[in-house]
Structure 1
Amino acid sequence: MVTSLLNALNKKCNHPDLAKLLLRLSMGMLLFHGFHKVMAGVGGIGAMLVAHGVPEYVAYGVYVGEIVAPILIILGVLCRPCAIVIFGTMVVAWLLVDKGSTFAVDQYGAWAIESLMFYVMMSLVILFNGAGRFSIVSEKWR
């Protein structure tokens, strides 16, 4: 009886393209970080980059990683290249801001870099799975 119920559940819930769409929409929450940088500017990021010997203008790349790439992923356009861009953006964010928190927990007991790692992991899943059927472009551009 349990086996038949589990098989029925598996059959009803087996929608990988819908799962890819939901994942892409979840990645879209990265836009909130990007919009914050549109409103506040990237001066703070530029200063951190300069402190590490990187030119300040590189900070403008955050707009690509936190606005352009998430929008394209939501739409299902160039998902794999955009996932690589987001992965790189998150690695840079970790190196600039959160490297010291890698093995720490926050005041609520959560991993201190938990949200950053969610974006890292989602970008890797999108990289390896692609956009799925629910996309605005043809297969060759997903």
Structure 2
Amino acid sequence: MQTNDDLGKLVLRATLAILILFHGVSKLITGVDPIMGMLAKAGLPSGLAFLVYVGEVIAPLMILFGIWARLGAVIVAINMIVAVALAHGAQFFTMGKTGGWALELQGFYFFSALAVALLGAGRYSMGGISGRWN
């Protein structure tokens, strides 16, 4: 019996990758100066800000195309942990203006990335269902 598991994996991968990629493209256009400031304020080297391009451009492309998608998903999950720690920590236990969790978007990205890391890319990927890059 054929299932839609691989199609579901594609939808999950594409949704996560495309939505995160918007953030990465924005940073490619506007730069990472605000992130450098947050890192410096936290006592960390400001040059680490350039790693956001890995987490928000390269990793989403890995996920989208299904090449080392699990690794890309782990990178996105780590990126979200760092983003929450640096920019959204005060909102962790708060509700948003519309009644949802204030960090529901970050939570969606984190848990979707975790799901991709656990599930893999599936059949509809450049890595293939059991390809060495999946």
Question: TM-score per shorter chain, which class?
Answer: over 0.9
Q: Which amino acid aligns with 1:128?
A: L
1:135 corresponding residue in structure 2? 125
Partner Cα separation in structure 2 for residue 58 and residue 46 of structure 1? 7
TM-score scaled by length of structure 1: 0.88
Equivalent residue for 1:112? 102
- Asked if structure 1 preserves the Cα contact closer than 8 Å seen for 2:68 and 2:127, the reply is no
Q: Which runs of 5+ in 1 are unaligned?
A: 1-10
Cα RMSD over matched residues?
1.3
The AA in structure 1 aligned to 2:90 is G
Paired with 1:51 and 1:102, the residues of 2 have a C-alpha distance of 19
Q: TM-score, normalised by structure 2?
A: 0.93
Q: Secondary structure at the match of 2:132?
A: helix
Tell me the CA shift for residue 24 of structure 1. 0.5
Structure 2 unpaired stretches of 5+: none
Q: How does 1:59-70 map to 2 (within 5 A)?
A: 59-70=49-60
Aligned residues: 131
Q: Which residue of 1 aligns with 2:13?
A: 24
Q: CA deviation at 1:136?
A: 1.2
The correspondence for 2:84, drawn from 78, 82, 94, is 94
Partners of 1:81 and 1:136 lie apart in 2 by 14
Which one of 8, 15, 21 corresponds to residue 4 of structure 2? 15
Aligned-residue sequence identity (percent) comes to 37
**Which of the pair has more CA radius of gyration?**
1
